[in-house]
């Protein structure tokens, strides 16, 4: 008898097992197909939720394989692989283990998850105090959870483990891991094998039968009685986020809004104008909205009149200094962008770029915007570090994506909130160079950050912008 499952040939070798790639796997026999489940289960919502979590597992697996990170299925997901080739009909989440060293790398790549997913752990969520890392789906929730003040989205549980001599030991609390015994010999887990979960190649322990017997007393684990065939997380709503979650995590849900780029550009300089138009075309191809903010240019605009129009005063004598004239125009141009943001009725997030900025060839806008899920709050975030100050960041590290803001020359690319833009407009009635103003003592006490990675190209930052463009203003 030849049976096809996921387009792979399985050769029957007993009444219960089939041979696949020289190893034994249990398949969906009559015993496991169309299982009856507890009448408490909302079947339609469960199936839709399981489909969402299957996609979550695909995304997780893709990143792990890209960076050669190993995980292995445990709990109900392991049972699903060896007994169902997919979901246990009544299971309600995904369970995997990782070594701590691999997880630390994965944590720095969490912004590569789709925009509707978020990696939750104690260090990045003060509302969450469980020693299990979770990948959360932001547009769903478990409806039967007891009242709680932390996120309730559909989940992948990630249990951390550590290699100690020839053993793999758990770094999660015993009561949080349920029936799973994580204290196993290294060769019981590694090298990992591959199994199938809803058509996805996933990893399972090397000695998976021994693993099953050690955890549940049988291979395959026995079926639960019908009354217990119910997700231990309870029922689910796969259609939208819980209102309480949106209120508890405003920054995360704010990051899901549309983003718009404002480019401060000196239109009177042809090289810059052409460069900005090309940049806008690049952004359009990435479905990113962009708009030009016409910059003040001292060769075109009258400095005295421009200062008066913006209610800005200065005691600096700039008459004979083109450099100072340029700095004043830079300040006024950024203030113009802040006013645009402060007065805007658009429900979007804004990024401000200067016109000597470009995007790298491998630019991924979702990877950039996703990092904002890992800030509890912010007023201002700079996306570019001056090359002379890259080595200063280690003493200011905040998390895997940000350091706390330190003195940094460079305002070529940043984001600012509507509220903070309003504040900057109100407090800046006296001219200050933008670099100095955004680094003064006032800013030190705000929620201000700088990314560990330079997300945009700029002068001195491995830029591919033509040199003639960078020197087009006479300072």
What is the DSSP code string of 194-259?
EEEETTEEEEE-TTHHHHHHHHHSSSSPPPPPGGG-S-TT--EE-SS--HHHHHH-HHHHHHTS-E
DSSP state at residue 312: -
Determine contact, residues 6/197, Cβ cutoff 8 Å. Answer: no
Q: What is the pLDDT of residue 116?
A: 97
What ranges do the domains of the chain cover? 32-248, 254-470
- Residues present in the chain in total: 475
Burial (CB < 10 A; 0-12, 13-18, 19+), residue 14, is exposed
Q: What is the pLDDT of residue 441?
A: 52
The β-bridge relationship of strands 349-354 and 259-265 is: parallel
**413/454 Cα distance (integer angstroms):** 9
Determine contact, residues 46/232, Cβ cutoff 8 Å. Answer: no
Give the residue among 366, 364, 357, 354 at the shortest CA–CA distance from 438: 354
Q: Do the domains at 32-248 and 254-470 have one common CATH topology?
A: no
Query: Which H or E run contains 465?
Result: none
CA torsion angle 243 245 249 253 (round to 10): -60
Determine contact, residues 405/378, Cβ cutoff 8 Å. Answer: no
Q: What is the pLDDT of residue 430?
A: 73
Phi/psi of residue 41, nearest 5 degrees: -80, 130
Give the residue among 382, 330, 380 at the shortest CA–CA distance from 356: 330
How does pLDDT run across 92-105, given as a tens digit for each residue? 999 999 999 999 99
**93/237 Cα distance (integer angstroms):** 13
What six digits make up the tokens of 342? 């402060």
Q: What is the pTM of this model?
A: 0.87
Helices in 311-417 by DSSP H: which ranges?
322-343, 365-370
What six digits make up the tokens of 125? 């969520």
CA-based max dimension of the chain: 94
Determine contact, residues 260/351, Cβ cutoff 8 Å. Answer: yes
Query: Which H or E run contains 24?
Result: strand 23-26
120: which strand partners?
A: 134
* CA angle, residues 391, 396, 400, in degrees to nearest 5: 90
What six digits make up the tokens of 94? 């995904």
Choices 3.30.160, 3.40.190, 1.25.40, 3.90.550: CATH for 254-470: 3.90.550
Residue with tokens 């996609």: 55
**199/157 Cα distance (integer angstroms):** 20
**353/359 Cα distance (integer angstroms):** 10
pLDDT tens series, the chain, 475 aa: 333 233 334 444 444 444 444 454 444 445 666 788 899 999 999 999 999 999 999 999 999 999 999 999 999 999 999 999 999 999 999 999 999 999 999 999 999 999 999 999 998 999 998 889 999 999 999 999 877 789 999 999 999 999 999 999 998 765 444 444 467 899 999 999 999 999 999 999 999 999 999 999 999 999 999 999 999 899 999 999 999 999 999 999 999 999 999 999 999 999 999 999 999 999 999 999 999 999 999 999 999 999 999 999 888 888 889 999 999 999 999 999 999 999 999 999 999 999 999 999 999 999 999 999 998 889 999 998 766 665 555 557 889 999 886 666 678 899 999 999 998 888 877 777 777 766 665 566 688 888 988 899 985 434 444 444 444 344 3
- According to the CATH classification, is domain 32-248 in 3.30.460? yes
**210/219 Cα distance (integer angstroms):** 8
DSSP state at residue 411: -
């Amino acid at each position: 008898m030849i049976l096809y499952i996921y387009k792979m040939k399985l050769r029957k070798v007993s009444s219960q097992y089939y041979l696949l790639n020289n190893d034994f796997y249990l398949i969906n026999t009559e015993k496991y197909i169309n299982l009856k489940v507890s009448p408490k289960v909302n079947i339609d919502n469960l199936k839709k939720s399981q489909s969402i979590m299957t996609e979550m597992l695909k995304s997780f697996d893709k990143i792990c394989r890209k960076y050669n990170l190993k995980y292995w299925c445990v709990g109900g997901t392991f049972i699903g692989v060896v007994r169902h080739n997919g979901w246990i009909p009544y299971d309600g989440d995904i369970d995997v283990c990782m070594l701590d060293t691999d997880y630390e790398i994965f944590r720095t790549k969490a912004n590569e998850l789709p925009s509707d997913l978020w990696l939750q752990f104690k260090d990045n969520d003060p509302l969450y105090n469980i020693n299990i890392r979770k990948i959360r789906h932001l547009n769903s929730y478990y409806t039967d959870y007891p009242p709680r003040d932390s996120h309730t989205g559909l989940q992948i549980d990630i249990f951390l483990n550590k290699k100690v001599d020839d053993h793999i030991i758990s770094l999660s609390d015993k009561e949080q891991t349920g029936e799973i015994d994580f204290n196993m010999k290294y060769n019981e887990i590694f090298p990992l094998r591959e199994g199938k979960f809803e058509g996805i190649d996933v990893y399972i322990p090397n000695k998976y039968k021994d693993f099953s017997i050690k955890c549940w007393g049988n291979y395959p684990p026995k079926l639960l009685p019908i009354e217990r065939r119910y997700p231990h997380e309870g029922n689910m709503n796969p259609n939208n986020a819980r209102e309480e979650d949106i209120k508890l995590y405003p920054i995360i849900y704010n990051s899901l809004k549309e983003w718009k780029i404002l480019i401060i550009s000196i239109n009177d300089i042809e090289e810059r104008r052409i460069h900005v138009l090309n940049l806008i075309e690049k952004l359009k191809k990435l479905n990113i909205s962009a708009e030009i903010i016409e910059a003040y240019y001292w060769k075109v605009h009258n400095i005295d009149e421009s200062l008066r129009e913006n209610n800005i005063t200065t005691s600096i004598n700039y008459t004979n200094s083109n450099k100072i004239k340029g700095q004043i125009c830079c300040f006024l141009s950024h203030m113009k962008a802040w006013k645009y943001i402060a007065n805007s009725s658009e429900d979007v997030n804004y990024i401000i770029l200067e016109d000597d900025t470009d995007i790298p060839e491998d630019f991924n806008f979702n990877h950039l915007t996703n990092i904002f899920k890992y800030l509890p709050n912010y007023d201002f975030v700079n996306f570019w570090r001056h090359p002379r100050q890259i080595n200063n960041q280690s003493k200011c590290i905040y998390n895997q994506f940000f350091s706390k803001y330190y003195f940094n020359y460079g305002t070529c690319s940043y984001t600012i909130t509507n509220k903070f833009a309003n504040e900057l407009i109100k407090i800046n009635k006296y001219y200050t160079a933008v670099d100095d103003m955004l680094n003064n003592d006032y800013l030190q006490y705000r929620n201000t950050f700088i990314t560990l990675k330079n997300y945009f190209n700029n002068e001195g930052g491995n830029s591919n912008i033509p040199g003639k463009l960078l020197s087009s203003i006479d300072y």
